[in-house]
């Protein structure tokens, strides 16, 4: 049985003020073609299908169009779980209809955990026993613990992690009892301790509040298909506990990271896997240096041959640039077939207190970065790390409330 593991599509994402519909459409067409050519029997999507809880209409159209085409193949089932960017009710609403296409959707963990355990037969080969899937979506606070008045941050963290481990233990036990030796695949959308993150990942629970280690996943799982971290990687040296990563770079910091989907095979009862590289549909380029160096970099850009226009981030080093440099750089990039989306200053060696309001736009900073800059001038008695953890936890609760 052939299985594809992917995650973090972030359909509807806006990159600065540009939409990415063209790139996402190219990826979904690539994915569907791969499913056909590799004779895939099961597609697993481990969360963050959409970039926001209320995605643009075009993003929804692309999602349902892809699922319709997948169902029309008649040979590939799908299991889709919700991520922290997704609205669980939004994903779950059409679940009954999608089941007619052999597509299972678990936006939120059901009250009856048995409803998140599925047997997926191999439609191409009647002699193949198929697999069992324990479909665990992103686990919110309400899924794993009840609030306790007056508890410390450390106590809250410990109970959250214990709740996540308990949720996995319960669903793994159910899947193992039903599988009778058939491979069991678990899913998840969280931060596993020791994984490498990039700038575009929104921390689920800062201070590792909701993070567990690779060793916390039950041994009943033959493979754990994870989402949330955008860089493909194994967790804690365990090759069967993996992030597939996002299929597209979601920030300039990911521009140099290879993108892939995982192809898993269960033939002969032995699980094997391999990466399938995802093409770069639109180049994201980063250049850093003094003004003359940046101009030189842009002059040597080669126009994309029939592809999408490259997007560029420029970071100016040295003295403050002239008021006309921004426009000069953007014009030069346009002449060489690229588009500059950001021109920033290298402020890494300048304390926040020395920066003028015009040096950094708040739109270029994430909420936690704004708070961190405020902490640099903080002189209170509470440790800055503790304040940072509390702020990030409140930010997470606010983001969850939006869904």
DSSP assignment of 76-142: -EEEEE--TTS-HHHHHTTHHHHHTTTEEEESS--SSGGGGEEEE--SS-TTS--EEEE------HH
Residue 198 pLDDT > 60: no
Provide mean pLDDT across the span 195-200. Answer: 57
Q: Please tell me the predicted confidence (pLDDT) of residue 202.
A: 47
**What is d(CA 104, CA 101) in angstroms, rounded to the nearest whole number?**
9
Measure Cα distances from 84 to 133, 135, 271, 378, 379 in Å.
20, 15, 29, 31, 34
Q: Are 244 and 232 in contact (CB under 8 A)?
A: yes
Domains with residue ranges and CATH for the chain: 2-277 (3.60.21.10), 284-401 (no CATH)
Q: How confident is the model at residue 256 (pLDDT cuts 50, 70, 90)?
A: confident
Residue 273 pLDDT > 50: yes
Provide mean pLDDT across the span 286-295. Answer: 94
More reliable by pLDDT, 256 or 347: 256
User: Which residue reads 């040979």 in tokens?
Assistant: 75
Q: Which two tokens stand for residue 31?
A: 């994915």
Residue 77 pLDDT > 50: yes
Residue 153 pLDDT > 80: no
Q: Please tell me the predicted confidence (pLDDT) of residue 206.
A: 39
Question: Rounded to 10 degrees, what is the CA torsion of 141, 143, 144, 145?
Answer: 60
Provide mean pLDDT across the span 219-242. Answer: 94
Q: How confident is the model at residue 236 (pLDDT cuts 50, 70, 90)?
A: confident
Q: What is the mean pLDDT of the chain?
A: 86
Q: Please tell me the predicted confidence (pLDDT) of residue 30.
A: 98
Q: Please tell me the predicted confidence (pLDDT) of residue 318.
A: 77
The DSSP symbol for 252 reads G
What is the CB neighbour count within 10 angstroms for residue 248?
Answer: 24
3-state class (DSSP) for residue 178: helix
Q: How confident is the model at residue 193 (pLDDT cuts 50, 70, 90)?
A: confident
Residue 29 pLDDT > 50: yes
Q: How confident is the model at residue 162 (pLDDT cuts 50, 70, 90)?
A: confident
Q: Please tell me the predicted confidence (pLDDT) of residue 348.
A: 62
Secondary structure (DSSP) of 70-95: HHHHSS-EEEEE--TTS-HHHHHTTH
Provide mean pLDDT across the span 17-25. Answer: 95
User: Is residue 354 packed enough to be buried (19+ CB in 10 Å), middle (13-18) or exposed (0-12)?
Assistant: exposed
Residue 351 pLDDT > 90: no
Q: How confident is the model at residue 211 (pLDDT cuts 50, 70, 90)?
A: confident
Provide mean pLDDT across the span 349-365. Answer: 52
Provide mean pLDDT across the span 115-136. Answer: 94
Least confident of 15-19, 287-291, 311-315, 384-388: 384-388
CB neighbours of 152 closer than 8 A, spacing ≥ 6? Answer: none
In this prediction, what percent of the chain has a pLDDT beyond 90? 63
pTM of the model: 0.85
Residue 33 pLDDT > 80: yes
Most confident by average pLDDT, 214-218, 278-282, 355-359: 278-282
User: Is residue 307 packed enough to be buried (19+ CB in 10 Å), middle (13-18) or exposed (0-12)?
Assistant: middle
Q: Which two tokens stand for residue 377?
A: 């001038």
Measured at the alpha carbon of residue 128, what is the angle toward residues 242 and 177, in degrees to the nearest 5? 65
Residue 381 pLDDT > 50: yes
> What is the helix (H) or strand (E) element at residue 156, kind and residue range?
helix 153-179
Measured at the alpha carbon of residue 96, what is the angle toward residues 111 and 244, in degrees to the nearest 5? 75
The shares of helix, strand and coil residues in the chain, as percent rounded to the nearest 5, are 35, 20, 45
Least confident of 227-236, 253-262, 297-306: 297-306
Q: Please tell me the predicted confidence (pLDDT) of residue 290.
A: 92
Residue 303 pLDDT > 70: no
Q: Which two tokens stand for residue 368?
A: 């936690």
Residue 350 pLDDT > 50: yes
Q: How confident is the model at residue 292 (pLDDT cuts 50, 70, 90)?
A: very high
Residue 183 pLDDT > 50: yes
Q: Please tell me the predicted confidence (pLDDT) of residue 207.
A: 39
Q: How confident is the model at residue 147 (pLDDT cuts 50, 70, 90)?
A: low
Q: Please tell me the predicted confidence (pLDDT) of residue 208.
A: 46
Residue 41 pLDDT > 60: yes
């Amino acid at each position: 049985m052939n299985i594809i593991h992917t995650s973090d599509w972030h359909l509807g994402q806006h990159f600065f003020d540009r939409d990415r519909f063209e790139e996402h459409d190219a990826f979904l067409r690539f994915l569907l073609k791969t499913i056909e050519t590799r004779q895939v029997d099961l597609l697993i999507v481990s969360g963050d299908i959409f970039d926001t809880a209320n995605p643009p209409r075009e993003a929804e159209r692309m999602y349902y169009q892809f699922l319709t085409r997948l169902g029309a193949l008649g040979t590939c089932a799908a299991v889709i779980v919700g991520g922290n960017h997704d609205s669980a009710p939004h994903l779950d609403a059409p679940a009954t209809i999608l089941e007619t296409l052999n597509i299972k959707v678990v936006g939120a963990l059901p009250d009856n955990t048995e409803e998140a355990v599925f047997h997926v037969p191999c439609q191409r080969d009647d002699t193949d026993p198929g697999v069992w899937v324990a479909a665990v979506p992103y686990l919110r606070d309400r899924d794993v613990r009840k609030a306790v008045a007056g508890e410390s941050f450390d106590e809250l963290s410990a109970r959250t992690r214990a709740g996540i481990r308990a949720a996995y233990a319960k669903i793994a036990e159910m899947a193992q009892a039903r599988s009778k030796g058939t491979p069991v695949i678990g899913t998840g959308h969280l931060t596993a301790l020791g994984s490498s993150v990039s700038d575009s990942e929104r921390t689920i629970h800062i201070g590792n509040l909701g993070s567990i280690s690779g060793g916390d996943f039950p041994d009943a799982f033959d493979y754990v298909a994870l989402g949330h971290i955008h860089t493909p990687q194994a967790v804690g040296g365990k090759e069967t506990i993996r992030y597939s990563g996002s299929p597209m770079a979601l920030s300039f910091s990911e521009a140099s990271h290879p993108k892939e989907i995982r192809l898993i095979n269960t033939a002969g009862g032995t699980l094997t896997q391999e990466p399938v590289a995802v093409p770069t549909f639109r180049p994201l380029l980063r250049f850093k240096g003094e003004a003359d160096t940046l101009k030189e970099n842009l002059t040597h850009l080669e126009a994309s041959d029939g592809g999408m226009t490259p997007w560029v981030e420029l970071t100016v080093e040295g003295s403050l640039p002239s008021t006309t440099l921004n426009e000069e750089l953007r014009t030069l990039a346009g002449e060489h077939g690229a588009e500059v989306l950001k021109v920033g200053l290298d402020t890494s060696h300048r304390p926040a207190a020395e920066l003028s309001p015009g040096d950094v736009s708040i739109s270029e900073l994430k909420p936690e970065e704004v708070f961190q800059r405020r902490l640099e001038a903080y002189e209170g008695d509470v440790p800055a790390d503790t304040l940072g953890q509390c702020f990030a936890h409140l930010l997470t609760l606010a983001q969850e409330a939006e869904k």
